[in-house]
């Protein structure tokens, strides 16, 4: 019978266990999207890998916010006369990401990102999935163009090397050119046959320049864009393979910041994706969605929540302090009232019971004997003063004594009375003192007489 009961309990427990396992497997999402390969990364980055570093950082960050890119591109279409710095200043009040606002100065780039929306989303997903790999792919493409000699033909850009990394910057501080190039030519023979580079047709208004007429330049340059210093607030940290950005509230828009100055700025931080600017667009992989598309609030929301909670805590602390002070004052008042009542009751009881009065001699005697402490002595002194005050209040006041002004007392009688009251010892002492005084006065008189006689005798001798 016991075996049957155990088998039945096991059979009943098995479906419950299976349902729990099934529910747990449904809650945990499984990654089904494969990451981008090196060929796919170079295919996506080919048309923008040779952009200036500052412009390229803005493009990569803006690609993670495709809806804001579309909004910015529509704004440039509605305001074609507002260009460069004026366009950037006019969109400062928009709730877009700062990199999206910076690209308003380059409407051609926004048009590329908005029209090729699939490519833009792939670029943003690749950047969010693995930032280090994507920056390494950019350096691989630049290195390939440098080995072929294509970078030597960039007339409007300054190409330099920082250790093993290639840096592309504008020659002038406030003038930026956006290059266009044929991706099938600039990088030489393409290594990935299954992933050909993305190719864009060059715009008709782009100009072709060549520093040497013998060599054909593969680069076409857009119009000259005058941009303020507020555009240069992000750059690449090539050694650590991440993007660095200066926050807008720490950035001085009226001072130029080079790439090294941006990286070494005291308030510069590594760029972090803000899901609020994503505007609900889904992510490509589950890992990225779990990292960013969770229910977690943004940094601004967290800061505002912290300030609210801090204010609430401070208010509650102040109210608690006030209540505590009022409670303590009331308690002290009640304690004082009780102590006064007890003291008055004790004093009345002592008087009623005719207890012996606490005198100073008694207290000193007890202190010498060690029967009481100093604190007890102080308390007894207080009690003694209280008893005296009570006795003075309770005792009847004697009527004033009437003095007859006509009667005069002789001083001799008062002296005799005082002398009669003195003790024999004091009389003996006074007698000895008076005798000594009489002897000293007699001696002084005799000495004065002898000195007078001597002085008379001398004067008589002189006269003779």
Q: Under a CB-based contact definition with an 8 Å cutoff, are residues 393 and 351 in contact?
A: no
Mark out the alpha helices in 275-298 (DSSP H runs): 286-292
Of residues 177 and 389, the one with the higher pLDDT is 177
| CA separation for the pair 258, 255 (Å, rounded) | 10
- Least confident range from 2-11, 166-175, 177-186, 208-217: namely 208-217
Task: Work out the pLDDT band at 70, boundaries 50, 70, 90.
Answer: very high
Report long-range pairs for 186-190 (Cβ below 8 Å, ≥24 apart): 186/50, 186/145, 186/148, 186/150, 186/218, 187/46, 187/141, 187/144, 187/145, 187/148, 187/150, 188/144, 188/145, 188/147, 188/148, 188/150
Q: Give me the residue label for tokens 């004093």.
A: 347
- Is beta strand 179-181 parallel, antiparallel or unpaired with respect to 219-221? antiparallel
pLDDT of residue 302: 57
Dihedral sign (CA 81, 86, 90, 95): positive
Backbone angles phi, psi at 225, to 5 degrees: -110, 120
Q: What is the pLDDT of residue 140?
A: 96
The residue with tokens 């009389």 is 427
What is the DSSP secondary structure assignment for residue 197, as one 8-state letter? P
pLDDT attached to residue 224: 83
Q: Is 81 helix (H, G, I), strand (E, B) or coil?
A: coil
pTM greater than 0.75 (yes/no)? no
Edge-to-edge strands, sheet with 242-245: 234-237, 242-245, 269-270
| Other beta carbons less than 10 A from residue 45's beta carbon | 26
Report residue 270: phi and psi, to 5°.
-70, 135
For the cut 70, the answer to whether the pLDDT of residue 95 exceeds it is yes
CB atoms within 10 A of CB 39: 16
pLDDT band at 321 (very low <50, low <70, confident <90, very high): confident
**In contact, 282 and 73? CB cutoff 8 Å:** no
Phi and psi for 212 in degrees, rounded to 5?
-140, 125
**What was the pLDDT predicted at 120?**
95
pLDDT of residue 74: 95
Distance in angstroms (rounded) separating the CA atoms of residues 437 and 421 = 24
pLDDT in tens, 6-63: 655 665 556 555 554 444 444 445 556 788 999 999 999 999 999 999 999 999 999 9
Split at pLDDT 50, 70, 90, the class of 343 is low
Q: At what angle do helices 107-115 and 53-63 cross, to 10 degrees?
A: 40
Q: What tokens were used for 253?
A: 């828009």
Convert 154-172 to b/e letters by CB count within 10 Å (16 or more is b): bebbeeeeeeebbbbbbee
Q: How many residues does the chain have?
A: 464
Q: Decide: residue 259, CB within 10 A, 0-12 exposed, 13-18 middle, 19+ buried.
A: buried
97 neighbors 57 (Cβ within 8 angstroms): no
Q: What is the pLDDT at residue 300?
A: 52
Average pLDDT, the chain: 75
Beta-carbon neighbour count of residue 384 at 10 Å? 16
Specify the higher pLDDT residue, 16 or 410. Answer: 16
- The model's confidence at residue 211, banded by pLDDT at 50, 70 and 90, is very low
Q: What is the CA radius of gyration of the chain?
A: 54
Who has greater pLDDT, 418 or 91? 91
Is pLDDT above 90 for 315?
no
Distance from C-alpha of 80 to C-alpha of 57, rounded to nearest angstrom: 24
The C-alpha atoms of residue 111 and residue 127 are separated, in whole angstroms, by 20
Higher per-residue confidence, 148 vs 300: 148
């Amino acid at each position: 019978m016991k075996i049957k009961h155990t088998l039945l309990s096991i059979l009943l427990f098995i479906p419950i266990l299976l349902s729990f396992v099934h529910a747990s497997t449904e809650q945990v999402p499984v990654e089904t999207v494969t990451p981008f390969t090196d060929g796919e990364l170079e295919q996506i980055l080919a048309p923008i890998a040779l952009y200036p570093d500052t412009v390229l950082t803005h493009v990569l960050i803006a690609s993670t916010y495709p809806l804001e890119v579309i909004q910015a591109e529509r704004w440039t279409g509605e305001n074609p006369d507002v260009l460069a710095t004026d366009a950037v200043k006019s969109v400062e009040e928009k709730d877009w990401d700062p990199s999206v606002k910076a690209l308003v100065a380059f409407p051609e780039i926004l048009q590329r990102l908005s029209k090729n929306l699939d490519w833009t989303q792939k670029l943003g997903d690749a950047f969010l999935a693995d930032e280090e790999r994507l920056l390494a792919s950019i350096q691989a493409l630049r290195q390939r163009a440098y080995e072929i000699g294509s970078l030597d033909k960039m007339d409007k850009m300054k190409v330099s090397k920082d250790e093993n990394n290639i840096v592309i910057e504008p020659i002038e501080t406030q003038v930026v050119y956006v290059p266009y190039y044929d991706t099938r030519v600039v990088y030489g023979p393409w290594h990935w046959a299954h992933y050909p580079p993305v190719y864009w047709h060059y715009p008709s208004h782009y100009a072709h320049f060549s520093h040497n007429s013998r060599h054909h330049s593969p680069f076409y340059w857009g119009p000259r864009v005058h941009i303020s210093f507020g555009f240069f607030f992000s750059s690449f940290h090539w050694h650590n393979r991440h993007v660095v950005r200066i926050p807008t509230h720490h950035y001085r828009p009226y001072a130029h910041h080079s790439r090294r100055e941006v990286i070494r700025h005291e308030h510069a931080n590594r760029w972090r994706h803000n899901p609020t600017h994503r505007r609900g667009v889904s992510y490509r992989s589950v890992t990225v969605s779990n990292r960013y598309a969770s229910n977690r609030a943004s940094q601004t929301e967290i800061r505002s929540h912290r300030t609210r909670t801090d204010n609430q805590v401070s208010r509650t602390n102040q109210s608690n302090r006030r209540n505590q002070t009022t409670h303590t004052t009331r308690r002290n008042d009640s304690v004082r009232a009780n102590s006064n009542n007890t003291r008055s009751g004790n004093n009345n009881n002592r008087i009623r019971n005719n207890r012996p009065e606490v005198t100073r001699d008694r207290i000193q005697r007890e202190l010498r004997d060690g029967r009481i402490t100093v604190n007890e002595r102080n308390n007894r002194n207080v009690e003694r003063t209280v008893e005296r005050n009570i006795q003075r209040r309770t005792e009847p006041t004697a009527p004033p004594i009437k003095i007859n002004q006509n009667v005069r007392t002789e001083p001799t009688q008062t002296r005799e009375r005082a002398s009669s009251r003195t003790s024999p010892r004091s009389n003996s002492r006074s007698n000895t003192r008076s005798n000594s005084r009489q002897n000293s006065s007699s001696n002084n008189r005799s000495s004065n007489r002898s000195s007078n006689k001597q002085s008379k005798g001398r004067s008589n001798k002189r006269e003779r």
